[in-house]
Amino acid sequence: MPKKTIASVDPRGKRVLIRVDFNVPIEDGRITDDRRIREAIPTIKSVIDRGGRAILVSHLGRPEGTGFEAEYSLKPCAGRLAELLGKPVEFPSSDCTDAASGAAVGALKDGQVVLLENLRFHKGEKKGDAAFAAKLAAYADVYVNDAFGTCHRPDASMVAVPKTLVGKPRVVGFLVEKEIKFLADALKKPAKPFVVVLGGAKVSDKMGAIEHLLPKADAVLVGGAMAYTFLAAMGKKVGNSKVETDKLADAKRAIDLAAKLKADLHLPTDHVCSTMFAEHGGDIEVFDEAIKDGYMGLDIGPKTQLKFALTIGKAKTVVWNGPMGVFEWPPFAVGTRAVANAIAEATGKGATTIVGGGDSAAAVEKFGLAARMSHVSTGGGASLEMLEGKPFESVDLLDNA
């Protein structure tokens, strides 16, 4: 069921509570990646440009839930947001429900923005606590969920707050609308050929997505560490590569499912390996098929890169979740870059290309290819759950269009 968006609400003179996801990486008080803030701008501007009063709430990191902790303050986000909007953003207090926050909300004028402090300084946020939710709900005439990265969580600001606001407009923001459009709607009936590229650290993280997407996919390309659990399950020699021994049966099940559905499941046929799990210092060698004892696979090899790129090149829809190797270390980033390039080129030829997963999104940013993808998700866990076809209570309970 499509959801009402903020575009269909007249926010003039109204207090619009916008749940954003400003859970950005911060090092020494500096934001190292502001993408989640940038992606929230269209919704915030839509509210304030039409004379609404924007009250922004978010979490950041995993504080104890026992009050203010400087390390997890959203203050740097207020500064960055003010720069991006080109107007002041009020940041009134160290507690999102104290008198100072309430006063700042009360004093808001049309077109102004206030950002409240980290919701998770209160235990009630993670607990979905009704009393905590009622305090936040009291700020709002309109509720907007634009926190895609948190949509899979039943936190108070995501579920209990909109539940409390029955009778008032409760809508999605433009970011959540866009994420659903790509991660769910585009995959209901994907344009074919539909190619799914999976990689990253663990089979266990991706099993749900594999099982949901295999029936729709023409080809599934598997790389990254998870490929070694698949290869081990097929009886291949994987040396010291990362294998989840308790997931061999899951991998076998996925292999059998692919065979049953006649989906092409491609595993790496060559591997860039090292004797150490380290950027430098190990003896690096490329192996076809059997990996020598003492070596571990840290990237897909050149033949696999070519094969994957060719398959991606024929696709009309591509979903990619999980790097092909340890892309954080340049000697093992080549495979991930090759796949990212092939996907960018497919976009250029008219394919719909979707990147989900926090590390995959970071890789695409790092390679400067983000603008050449149809969509790069802002959600890690949330994007994966969407690829698993799971419903989100935080979205389902909002007003239908």
Residues in contact with ligand ADP by CB under 6 A are: 199-201, 205, 224-225, 242, 297-298, 321-323, 325-326, 328, 357-360, 380
Q: Rounded to the nearest whole angstrom, what is the least distance from the CB of residue 331 to ligand ADP in the complex?
A: 12
225: partner contacted, choices ligand ADP, Mg ion, none (Cβ within 5-8 A by kind): ligand ADP
Q: Rounded to the nearest whole angstrom, what is the least distance from the CB of residue 250 to Mg ion in the complex?
A: 19
Q: Rounded to the nearest whole angstrom, what is the least distance from the CB of residue 380 to Mg ion in the complex?
A: 6
**Residues in CB range of 157: below 8 A, 6 or more apart:** 19, 57, 59, 119, 125, 133, 136, 147
Burial class (CB in 10 A: 0-12, 13-18, 19+), 400: exposed
Structure tokens at 113: 């923005």
Q: Rounded to the nearest whole angstrom, what is the least distance from the CB of residue 94 to ligand ADP in the complex?
A: 32
By CB under 5 A, residue 359 contacts Mg ion: yes
Nearer to ligand ADP, 149 or 322 (CB): 322
358 catalytically annotated: yes
Nearer to Mg ion, 124 or 358 (CB): 358
Neighbours of 296 (CB within 10 A): 21
**Pairwise CA distance, residues 368 & 337, whole Å:** 10
Q: Which of 239, 357, 358, 380 is catalytic?
A: 358
Nearer to ligand ADP, 136 or 222 (CB): 222
Nearer to Mg ion, 301 or 356 (CB): 356
36 catalytically annotated: yes
381 catalytically annotated: yes
C-alpha gyration radius of the chain = 23
* Options 52, 124, 162, 358; binder of Mg ion; rule CB under 5 A: 358
Structure tokens at 349: 């030829």
The Cα-based distances of 141 to 98, 145, 165, 204, 393 in angstroms read 19, 14, 8, 42, 21
51 catalytically annotated: no
Give the active site residues.
Answer: 36, 202, 358, 381
Q: What does the binding site for Mg ion look like in residue numbers (CB under 5 A)?
A: 358-359
